[in-house]
Amino acid sequence: MDKFENLMDDMKGWTNDDLAKWVESNKPKCICPGCPTYTQCAEMNKEALYCVTGKSPSCIETPETCVCRDCPVFDELSLLYNYHCIEGSEEARRKL
């Protein structure tokens, strides 16, 4: 198992509050707001960490340049995919 799979395994016992706390604690590392694909709508809705939270519900539809691989979270979690804001969370894409 890689780091991401271990995190997903740990999260199975988490409450929604636990997940919200994890997301908030990791938002400072997230570079989604600096991505060329990120929109004003996403900013207004405070969207971030698409790699865990999943694709943007309605704010991001058109891909520009992706910076996922430059994000500290990408390396910390051993992520494989990018364009999470459009394609979905790492968990969904790995079909875990």
The predicted pLDDT at position 93 comes to 95
How many whole angstroms separate alpha carbon 71 and alpha carbon 34? Answer: 10
Residue 43 has pLDDT above 80, yes or no: yes
pLDDT for 1 beyond 90: no
How many beta carbons lie within 10 A of that of residue 64, not counting itself? 12
Q: Which of 57, 59, 85 is nearest to 71 (CA)?
A: 85
Q: Enter the pTM of the model.
A: 0.90
Read off the pLDDT band of 73 (50, 70, 90). very high
Reported as a pLDDT band with limits 50, 70 and 90, residue 27 is very high
Please give the mean pLDDT across all residues of the chain. 94
In this predicted structure, the answer to whether residue 96 has a pLDDT above a threshold of 80 is no
Averaged over 39-47, what is the pLDDT?
Answer: 96
Amino acid symbol at 44: M
